[in-house]
Amino acid sequence: MAKIVVVTSGKGGVGKTTTSASFATGLALKGFKTVVIDFDVGLRNLDLVMGCERRVVYDFINVIHNEANLNQALIKDKQCENLYVLAASQTRDKDALTQEGVGRVLTELANMGFEYIVCDSPAGIETGALMAMHYADEALVVTNPEVSSVRDSDRILGMLGSKTQRAIDGKEPVKEHLLITRYNPNRVEEGQMLSLEDIHDILRIELIGVIPESEIVLQASNEGLPAIHKDGSDVSEAYKDLVDRFLGHERPLRFVEAVKPGFFKRLFGGR
Amino acid sequence: MSSAAPGLTAHLFEVKSAQLPLVTLLLKSTHLNEVANELQQRYGNNPDFFAGDPLLIDLCVLRDSEESVEWSFLLPLLRRYHLMPVAVKGGNPKQMQSALQAGLAQADEATYIRADAAGQTYAQAAPAPEPELLPALIVDKPLRSGQQVYARGRDLVVLAMVNPGAEVIADGHIHVFAPLRGKAIAGARGYTDARIFAASLEAELISIAGVYRTSDKPLPANVQGRPAQVRLQAGPDGEKLVLEPIN
């Protein structure tokens, strides 16, 4: 039985695509057959972050409109055995997504034996975002430690609770997880960022992970490599922790304490 | 305005100007028996439809008629339907004079809220009849940004947080047994005794019967983030919101 996970946030630029790429990769590295779908029709990015942009021939919209079949559109990841990418169309817009079409593709993917289907939602609360969340079983709500992002995540949580198929059918609600990205404990301490407690106080859903603010993320996406592959970096470790927690393992929160620059660092002004 | 004798410290009364929302009856016939029949047809099953609404009688249609209005018949008839005739407008001098003698004020300057839709004015001024006891609307899920709940004609009880960007609205009181961070609008149809109760008052906006306050003006320290109630108090400069901690 495939599990559908939407990565969503409301606000743009908070790290949905970065998270979708690393999270899906992490699940695949654990041996699960995983597909990650870009719902950001018209502004496709996931293929760039996954480093497969040159191999996109058919996309998600082609499959929805029966212009290609899934086998033609699924792009096999180069690094990971069990990982596939379904790219968005760059030439169409969000209205090309239909609820029936999305539902049909998700069912077909489940029938192909995919265990996890990760839906990378576009920003906003319009068709694209609604389609990405509609059939979700679980949701990763990506939030930055700032007021506007928290507000938008709150809005998305409201929609997860009312607009999804599970909500409409009155079934068990979508399982919501809070993922805080771009967290910088030093800046929290200086009062420039909201703290974990502040964010939790507003959103009040279970915190599944904290991804620290890091240059690695930008580097990785420029290289077309999911950040989780940057072994040894704190971002990679934090994403691996996220995947473990998602799979039900206990992992202590890391990278959430402020680090004082050491004596030598202060002396020599290193970064 | 006041011209009390010097040295007198307390006035026994004050005269103030006020405005009153009215229901208007546009009278189209002086055959009052027929009017009575029609009233019976339309509101006979529903004698409490007008809950003591003050009434303006508009005679503009009958202005050119020679007939006079039989006030001694019409006024008791209207009162039977819980309408309180207070004023008259639009009639010819003879009709207006007789109305004055019947105890009605002249209100020729009164205007409709919607000039061309008298029926709509009725609908606005006279709320639909409601059962005697409408139990409070209970919400036990968090209200998140963009969500809105309206307890029409009753109280609202919210057992989970009301987040910034969410709105809770009630015609009666609002009780929030969790942090109230969004907008709370009690007494939405003008009930001035409505109150807002919150386990932790952090609202963006609070309003009772149209008198409101935004968080632009910070809440007083003794209620901010604490259990508190908000009510409306009439004072010399009009009504104002009173915020009090609940211990």
Q: Does A158 touch chain B (CB under 8 A)?
A: yes
Confidence at residue B32, expressed as pLDDT on a 0 to 100 scale: 86
pLDDT at residue B159, rounded to an integer: 97
Helices (DSSP H) in chain A: which residue ranges?
16-29, 46-49, 60-64, 70-73, 99-111, 127-134, 147-160, 165-169, 185-189, 196-203, 215-223, 234-246, 263-268
Alpha carbon of A152: minimum distance to chain B alpha carbons (Å): 8
pLDDT band at B69 (very low <50, low <70, confident <90, very high): confident
pLDDT at B1 (0 to 100) = 46
Give the pLDDT of residue B113.
Answer: 53
At residue B132, the pLDDT reads 66
Q: Are A176 and A143 in contact (CB under 8 A)?
A: no
For residue A155, give how far its alpha carbon lies from the nearest alpha carbon of chain B (Å). Answer: 5
Choose the mutation target among A8, A202, A205 for the interface with B, i.e. most B CBs under 10 Å: A202
Using CB atoms, which residue from B145, B164, B181 is nearest to A158? B145
Query: From the CA of B91, how many Å to the nearest CA of chain A?
Result: 56
Which of B141, B146, B161 has the CB atom closest to A155's CB atom? B146
- Minimal Cβ distance to A155: which of B142, B144, B181: B144
For the beta carbon of residue A100, count every other beta carbon within 10 angstroms.
Answer: 8
| pLDDT of B6 higher than 50 | no
The pLDDT of A144-162, averaged and rounded, is: 96
pLDDT at B119: 39
Contact (Cβ atoms closer than 8 angstroms) between residue B172 and residue B138: no
How does pLDDT run across B203-243, given as a tens digit for each residue?
999 999 999 999 999 999 999 999 999 999 998 888 999 99
Which residues is A139 bridged to in the sheet? Answer: A6, A176
Between CA A128 and CA A112, with CA A173 as vertex, the angle to 5 degrees is: 60
Q: Name the residue with higher pLDDT: B184 or B105.
A: B184
What's the whole-number mean pLDDT along residues B154-178? 96
Angle at B36 between CA B33 and CA B38, to 5 degrees: 115
**Does the structure show a pLDDT above 50 at B125?**
no
A115: pLDDT strictly greater than 50: yes
Chain A: closest CA distance from residue B110 (Å): 45
Overall average pLDDT of the B91-106 stretch: 86
Q: Do A151 and B181 touch (CB under 8 A)?
A: no
Q: Which residues are bridge partners to A78 per DSSP?
A: none
Mean pLDDT across chain B: 83
Instruction: Report pLDDT for A72.
Output: 94
Query: What pLDDT does B115 receive?
Result: 38
Residue ranges of alpha helices (H) inside chain B are 32-43, 71-80, 93-101, 118-125
Q: Do A155 and B145 lie within an 8 Å CB cutoff? A: yes
- Residue A266: pLDDT band by 50, 70, 90 thresholds? low
Q: How many CB pairs under 8 A join A and B?
A: 31
Is the CB of B144 less than 8 angstroms away from the CB of A152? no
- Look at A151 and B145 and tell me if their CB atoms are within 8 Å: yes
pLDDT(A217) > 90? yes
pLDDT at B112: 63
Residue A161 and residue B141: Cβ atoms within 8 Å?
Answer: yes
For B182-214, write each residue's pLDDT tens digit. Answer: 999 999 999 999 999 999 999 999 999 999 999
Q: Give me the helices (H) in B3-92, please.
A: 32-43, 71-80
Q: Which residue of A has its CA nearest to B143?
A: A158
Q: Residue B5: its pLDDT value, please? A: 46
A163 close to B (CB below 8 A):
no
Which of chain A's residues have a Cβ under 8 Å away from the Cβ of B144?
A: 154-155, 157-158, 161
Residues in A 193-222 with any Cβ partner in B closer than 8 A: 202, 204
For the beta sheet containing B53-58, the strands, ordered from the edge strand earlier in sequence to the opposite edge, are B23-26, B53-58, B83-89, B105-106
The confidence score (pLDDT) of residue B104 equals 87
Tell which of B141, B163, B180, B200 to mutate to test the A interface (max A CBs under 10 Å). Answer: B163
Rounded to a whole number of angstroms, the distance from the CA of B188 to the nearest CA of chain A is 24
Average pLDDT score over residue span A32-45? 95
Q: Count of alpha carbons within 13 Å of A238, Cβ hemisphere only?
A: 25
The answer to whether A154 contacts chain B (CB < 8 Å) is yes
Q: Give the count of alpha carbons within 13 A of B212, CB side only.
A: 17
State the pLDDT at residue B55.
87
On chain B, the residues whose CB falls within 8 A of the CB of A162 are: 147
Q: How far is B159 from chain A (nearest CA, A)?
A: 14
**Of the given ranges (A42-46, A167-171, A238-242, B66-70), which has the lowest mean pLDDT?**
B66-70
